[in-house]
Amino acid sequence: MSVKSYRQALNEAIYQEMERDERVVVMGEDIAGGMGAPGEDDAWGGVLGVTKGLMPKFGRDRVLDTPISESAFIGCAAGAAATGLRPVAELMFVDFMGVCFDQIFNQAAKFRYMFGGKAVTPLVIRTMYGAGFRAASQHSQCLYPLFTHIPGLKVALPSNAYEAKGLMTQAIRDDDPVVIFEHKAMYDEEMEVPDEAYGIPFGEANVTREGDDVTLVAFGRMVNLANEAADSLKASGITCTVVDPRTTSPLDTETILETVSETGRLVVIDEAHPRCNMATDVSALVSQEIFSDLKAPVKMVTAPHCPVPFSPALEDLYIPSTAKIEAAVREVLGKGH
């Protein structure tokens, strides 16, 4: 056990799985750096350094720098997965999915179904998401609801370094295509992470706080904001249950329904745009299944329905904050809070 960053935890998971299983390969743009050109090898390790150190250890045959063509290398990874390898492909920013969505949702996601269950596609797509990086509207989106919508894909959103290592390990060992969403503002966040390999099962939510008054369901980086809000509200005598579903597909509906039944109140926190996102999905689930247990209308805390602004002041305003979560909690509790 030692203190590791989110970045180191992801790197360690990939490293240990590559050591354990030689079918695991990684590919993407500049994930090592310098392939086929003079200059420094392993200079990059991906744009934010997650895969640094893999190429010197495992060699160019298993760590592939690809051309800048997402449709080519994501398609390549899907085919390699269907024919015996276990590729981990880095789709840099999720905003770039537009050029390779056919490879993902028409091909990788469908193989198992189209081939009558006889084909498996153990493909992992790593991708960065999220605002707060001053990277504007084409490098800051939270597009996980789009992937969650597609049957045949699994979608994981690790909310800290411990989760990152366990969910990445689980993704590489899974026989279906998994998209891992890494929030770019979290790479330097540190915590105790076991040195040994471990997987965290998909579809098992983590209840990070237990309280009586309101249930907060939050996704990815928003889990940390929800925890902060819950801790801060405690001083006012308001106790919250916080649920981190960990994966949006599969979704642990059981834990969500059980904890919302107990408190009777729900605030969903989602950094994605408010239409057809995880917040609407969870709100619909709760309204449909346990409407009679609710003591107050469900409240959503999300980004607004507009592109991520480039203006730093507007970007800060755009992202859900602890203050907005606390205000939502007080609102569902009604007057007097």
Partner 1 sequence: MSGNIEPILMPKWGLAMEEGMLVEWQVEEGDAIEKGQEIADIETTKITNAFESPLTGQLRRFVTMDGETVPVGFLLAVCAEEDVDDATIDGFVRDFKDNFVLDEAAAGAAEPETVEIQPGQSIRYMTMGSDSDEPILFVHGFGGGFDNWMLNQEALSEDFQTYAVDLPGHGGSTKQIGDGELATLTDMLQSFMSAMKIGRAHLVGHSMGGGIALDLATRYPDQVASLSLIAPVGFGPDINMEYIDGFITQTRARKLRAVIELLVDDPTGISPDMIEDIIKYKRLDGVGPALELLRDKNMPAGQQASALKDRLDDLVAPTQIIWGRNDRIIPASHAEGLPDRLKIQIYDDTGHMPHMERANEVNALISAIVKG
Q: Does 37 bind partner 1 (CB under 8 A)?
A: no
- Tracing tokens 């537009």 back to the chain, one arrives at 98
Cβ–Cβ under 8 Å, residues 197 and 16: yes
- Tracing tokens 């743009």 back to the chain, one arrives at 29
Catalytic residue (choose from 139, 149, 183, 305): 139
Range 249-288, binding partner 1 (CB under 8 A) = 255
Q: Does 293 bind partner 1 (CB under 8 A)?
A: no
Rounded CA gap, 276 and 281, in Å? 7
Cβ–Cβ under 8 Å, residues 129 and 90: no
Which span (110-118, 141-149, 189-197, 271-279) binds partner 1, by CB under 8 A? 189-197
Interaction pattern, residues 143-182, with partner 1; x per rule: CB under 8 A = -------------------x---x----------------
Of the residues 37, 40, 118, 196, which one makes contact with partner 1 according to CB under 8 A: 196
- Tracing tokens 């411990």 back to the chain, one arrives at 162
Q: Does 35 bind partner 1 (CB under 8 A)?
A: no
Asked if 183 is an active-site residue, the reply is no
Q: Work out how close the CB of 197 gets to partner 1 at its nearest, in angstroms, rounded to a whole number.
A: 5
Number of residues that bind partner 1 (CB under 8 A): 14
User: What phi, psi does 47 have (nearest 5°)?
Assistant: -60, -30
Cβ–Cβ under 8 Å, residues 309 and 273: no
Q: Work out how close the CB of 13 gets to partner 1 at its nearest, in angstroms, rounded to a whole number.
A: 12
Q: Does 18 bind partner 1 (CB under 8 A)?
A: no
**3-class DSSP state of 188:** coil
Closer Cβ to partner 1, 255 or 277, answer by number: 255
Of the residues 49, 79, 137, 210, which one makes contact with partner 1 according to CB under 8 A: 210
Closer Cβ to partner 1, 210 or 331, answer by number: 210
Closer Cβ to partner 1, 102 or 195, answer by number: 195
Q: Work out how close the CB of 313 gets to partner 1 at its nearest, in angstroms, rounded to a whole number.
A: 36
**3-class DSSP state of 248:** strand
Range 295-324, binding partner 1 (CB under 8 A) = none
Cβ–Cβ under 8 Å, residues 40 and 52: no
Cβ–Cβ under 8 Å, residues 41 and 32: yes
Bridge-partner residues for 241, per DSSP?
Answer: 215
Tokens of 32: 């090592």
Which span (87-95, 202-210, 231-239, 298-306) binds partner 1, by CB under 8 A? 202-210
Rounded CA gap, 126 and 133, in Å? 18
Closer Cβ to partner 1, 46 or 166, answer by number: 166
For residue 154, how many C-alpha atoms fall within 13 Å in the half-sphere facing its CB?
Answer: 24
User: Is the C-alpha dihedral spanning 46, 250, 248, 143 positive or negative?
Assistant: positive
Q: Does 203 bind partner 1 (CB under 8 A)?
A: no
Which residues are catalytic, by number?
139
By the criterion CB under 8 A, which residues form the site for partner 1? 1, 162, 166, 194, 196-201, 204, 207, 210, 255
